[in-house]
Amino acid sequence: MKFKAYVTENGVSLLERRFLPALEKMGKICHLFLTRDHAIFLHNLLNGDGIQSIAQFRKEALFDDYRISSQNEDRIAFAIDISLLLRAARSSVSICTEFGAGPTANRLQIKLVKKLPPNCTQPMPFLTFETKGYKSAVIQDVPISKPLSRAQVLELQTALDMAQDLPQTLVQVPDLNQLQNFVDRMKHVGDLLNVSISKYGDLHVQISTTLITLGAEFRKLLILGDQAQAPTEDQNLSAQTRSERAILRGDALSVQVSVRHFSKSLQCHLAKPDCAFYGIAPQGACLTVIFQFFIPGTRQTDKSISLHCRLPVLDPGSN
């Protein structure tokens, strides 16, 4: 199997300044899944434990002169340490910035290689960054896992396909900072967060202990998907009562998630999304957060980039 490409200036900016810092917050290790058309960073899709995150890029968003070949339909996947990848990317950027200018500007090449590390008898796989200048080259090797087998790649692809299912109702949260500030205060109260989302465009988050209940409500949010008109008789009721009545009517879903997972998903603001949508999967299977990116200078969705998280639901009976 072979892979090599040049990281474009836009690709370097997306990875080094935005997405890798955000993905590092999701977890130290992720899978990098390379196909003929996409590069995809995946957290926790195979073990099903913890928050799942999927960052998908069309190859043109990150690379040029992109070449990949394998006996598995030109698909290659492996586990990689995000912090090491980010360190290599930052180091390469600083080298390019320091030494690259004009017609002999450095180009950053990324490729899969096998090398024999010191004191080892077996060659090991690496993702190598090579900064090529006019007279010299700087090489940085990021260790990776043994590439996934055909069966494991199929398992990863199946999990990826399943993770693309959208909730029937999504509500837009325009201000992630406001939500982050609220969750930061909640973290000191308890570990479990109740989240309900209605077809009326309401997002209700609440944390309860035997001594205190804290909640926040975001109303009349932009809705994608199934929506309904809020009953007029509910207007003057408390947020909690309105939420409970909407659930009984079948106009809302509610799930319980970890405050830590919810807070971690908000760290995706480091990728600088333009907005975020929250939704609950059918039967309350998970809480989904979809981050939207616009083409710079427009309000049009950039379809070459996608990022979303799926938060596992906790069983209220297990606590």
Pick the CATH number of 169-312 from 3.40.50.360, 3.40.630.40, 3.10.290.10, 3.10.150.10: 3.10.150.10
Q: What's the pLDDT at 261?
A: 94
Distances (CA, A) of 159 to 43, 143, 170, 261, 262: 11, 25, 22, 20, 21
**185 token code pair:** 């205060």
Q: What's the pLDDT at 188?
A: 83
Q: What's the pLDDT at 83?
A: 96
Of 276, 103, 298, 305, whose CA–CA distance to 177 is shortest?
Answer: 276
In a 10 Å sphere around its CB, with 0-12 CB exposed, 13-18 middle and 19+ buried, how is residue 8 labelled? Answer: middle
| Record: fold of 2-163 | Proliferating Cell Nuclear Antigen (3.70.10)
**Residue-level pLDDT, tens digit, the chain, 319 residues:** 999 999 998 999 999 999 999 999 999 999 999 999 999 999 999 876 789 999 999 999 999 999 999 999 999 999 999 999 999 988 887 776 655 554 445 678 999 999 988 888 889 999 999 987 666 678 899 999 999 999 999 999 999 999 988 999 999 997 888 888 888 888 888 889 999 999 999 999 999 888 888 888 899 999 999 999 989 888 888 888 999 999 999 999 999 999 999 999 999 999 999 999 999 999 899 999 999 999 989 999 999 999 999 999 987 544 4
Q: What is the distance between the alpha carbons of residues 125 and 41, in angstroms, rounded to a whole number?
A: 18
In a 10 Å sphere around its CB, with 0-12 CB exposed, 13-18 middle and 19+ buried, how is residue 253 labelled? Answer: buried
Q: How far apart are the first and last CA of the chain?
A: 47
Q: What's the pLDDT at 317?
A: 45
What residues does each domain of the chain span? 2-163, 169-312
Q: What is the distance between the alpha carbons of residues 122 and 21, in angstroms, rounded to a whole number?
A: 32
Report yes or no: 220 and 203 within 8 Å, Cβ to Cβ. Answer: no
In a 10 Å sphere around its CB, with 0-12 CB exposed, 13-18 middle and 19+ buried, how is residue 10 labelled? Answer: middle
